Amino acid sequence: MDVQNFDRVLVLDFGAQYAQLIARRVRECKVYSEIVPYATPAADIAEKEPKGLIFSGGPRSVYEEGAPRPDPGIFDLGIPILGICYGHQLIARELGGEVRSTDFREYGRVEMQAEEGSLLLKELPLTQNVWMSHGDSVVHAPGGFTETAHTAGSPVAVMENRERSIYGVQFHPEVAHTPLGMDILKNFLYHACDCLPAWTMVSIIEQMVEEIQAQAGNGKIICGLSGGVDSAVAAVLVHKAVGDQLTCVFVDHGLLRKGEAEQVEDTFQRHFKINLVHVKAQERFLERLAGVTDPERKRKIIGTEFIRVFEEVAKDLEDAQFLVQGTLYPDIIESGTKDAARIKSHHNVGGLPDDLRFQLVEPLRALFKDEVRAVGEELGLPEEIVWRQPFPGPGLAVRIIGEVTEERLEILREADDVVMQEIKKAGLYRDLWQSFAVLPAIRSVGVMGDERTYAYPIILRAVVSEDAMTADWARIPYDVLERISNRVINEIRGVNRVALDISSKPPATIEWE
């Protein structure tokens, strides 16, 4: 998606836990934002023509040797800047203020006292609670700055240079624990940056429809449906733009969740009247995956095989030239770009073959997951599709840790279905970002009846998140866990124990592979 028609704010990432959250919050203020590395040259930043810059927090001390610093030329671009936590301290140090470690550290909720006349705190109470997480503090603001708020441990909790339009806050306005944080961000975006709140679902859809029509012309388009929300929204969006030029190809590779194939057919053929080709290819994919245990190889094999299936179908569609994919902004970041190290290849980004002959249509690549859901609702997709929890493109293949076999797939599919049933029954489904079963290809000893068993474990993974860039393990009630464990062990042959994954992201990822 071309975002040139929207005001843009860049978030410079200094290694913050919350850099992605800052970008999300800016978008919630209806202003487009994207994340760039802190070392991006000033000339490259100017070329993007942002209306504002936000320096994120970070784990370092600004006076440490080798601490991350931006190109000094950024301060001379005349673009409004907001520093948050480390970014606040960095602005102070770079422009001649004083930062030092104090005996009074602040972590958690803190009461802040503001002065009259602040732009950032405009029309907000002079006393408010904010969320702090710092050991260093700005003790003297640089020349030209006004100190507009303080706390017991931060003599300069907010500083502002209205003439240069440079601002800093020691606390974290992007987190929910700062109750008025969104108002503070809006003051920066609307009053300092003069941004228009135009990043809305209606305007996004209109823009994407125009771009799809311009890219595709009268060409034939195919879209790979996976059953997940990303590909579903992409398909309906493209259908809105080009109608019958689109044919959706649903590849049932045998790696889907229980009942998924039937739901896809019902939604797209009966509800939206979209041309749908259903390819049943489980045997083909299992043959390619035989003996493969490395997760990156699995993703590459599945991504390549998907494309080969599409190419075969395209021959019967008068040589379709375009391929629609539901690639999202987090996919791009995690798969690695010149700006980001690769965490794992997504099958629709790093997993594509080098000899791809289709032109890609990726209307969602600028969006976070919740924005995709909002677009889906605006387009009229059913709730059970829009709010379906994320599912990896390679399907259950990357939830089997080891070789993928028909037996393991069947065990995992049934276990995953039990997890879904119990999570929904407990009213937790919409509260969780993802909840699913993992099957490691190992066996352990158990006792069932009076007999020794040697069977697979099932691992329950459930997380809460806002955008999948960070996630915390979900605190599922013990009685729900007990029901899941009892049902999985009692109802599914080949399983004799259930374990719970209590790792957060980072350091872990949400999926195991």
Residue reference for tokens 């009685």 = 479
Angle between the N-to-C axes of helices 201-216 and 369-379, in degrees from 0 to 180, rounded to the nearest 10:
80
Q: Is the peptide bond before 506 cis (omega within 30 degrees of 0)?
A: yes
Sign of the torsion formed by the C-alpha atoms of 396, 402, 404 and 410 = negative
Q: Helices 369-379 and 229-242 sit at what angle, rounded to 10 degrees?
A: 50
How, if at all, do strands 146-150 and 221-225 pair?
Answer: unpaired
- Provide the annotated active-site residues: 85, 172, 174
End-to-end CA distance of the chain: 29
Q: Is 433 exposed, middle or buried (0-12, 13-18, 19+ CB in 10 A)?
A: buried
Predicted local confidence at residue 107, as pLDDT: 80
Q: Could you tell me where in the chain the CATH 3.30.300.10 domains are found?
A: 405-501
Cβ atoms of 161 and 146 closer than 8 Å: yes
- Looking at 3.40.50.620, 3.20.20.70, 3.40.50.300, 1.10.132.20, the CATH number of the domain 201-386 comes to 3.40.50.620
Maximal CA-CA distance, the chain: 80
CATH classification code of 405-501: 3.30.300.10
Quick one: pLDDT at residue 339?
Answer: 36
CATH 3.40.50.620 positions along the chain are 201-386
| Tokens linked to 457 | 């474990």
Quick one: how far is CA 288 from the chain centroid?
30
**DSSP 3-state helix, strand, coil percentages of the chain (rounded to 5)?**
35, 25, 40
- Fold held by 8-192: Rossmann fold (3.40.50)
pLDDT number for residue 206 = 94
Strands 451-464 and 434-440 turn out to be antiparallel
Q: What is the residue-level pLDDT of the chain in tens, covering all 513 positions? A: 677 789 999 999 998 778 888 999 999 999 999 999 999 999 999 999 999 999 999 888 888 888 999 999 999 999 999 999 999 999 999 999 999 887 777 788 999 999 999 999 999 999 999 999 888 889 999 999 999 999 988 999 999 999 999 999 999 999 988 999 999 999 999 999 999 999 999 999 999 999 999 999 999 998 888 778 898 999 999 999 999 999 998 888 999 999 888 888 888 887 788 999 999 999 999 999 999 999 999 999 998 998 888 778 877 877 788 989 888 887 776 544 333 333 334 444 344 556 667 889 999 999 998 899 999 999 998 888 898 898 888 999 999 999 999 999 999 999 999 999 999 999 999 999 999 999 999 998 887 766 778 899 999 999 998 767 788 999 999 999 999 999 999 999 999 999 999 999 989 999 999
Let me know how long the chain is. Answer: 513
Torsion of CA 322, 387, 471, 480, to 10 degrees: -140
Between β-strands 451-464 and 275-280, what pairing exists: parallel, antiparallel or unpaired? unpaired
CB contact at 8 A, 53 and 10 = yes
Q: Within 10 Å of residue 429's Cβ, how many Cβ atoms? A: 15
Spatial distance between the Cα atoms of 128 and 399, rounded to a whole number of angstroms: 45
pTM check: above 0.85: no
Q: Is 427 left (phi over 0), alpha (psi -120 to 50) or beta?
A: left
Return the structure tokens found at 1. Answer: 């998606």
Q: H helices within 177-228, ranges in order?
A: 181-186, 201-216
d(Cα 114, Cα 118) in Å, to the nearest integer?
A: 8
The DSSP output letter for 141 is P
Pairwise CA distance, residues 222 & 319, whole Å:
10
Q: Are 247 and 320 in contact (CB under 8 A)?
A: yes
Q: How many CA atoms lie within 13 A of 360 on its CB side?
A: 15
Residue 274, both tokens = 């979209």
Peptide bond into 68 cis (omega under 30): no
Domain with CATH 3.40.50.880 in the chain: 8-192
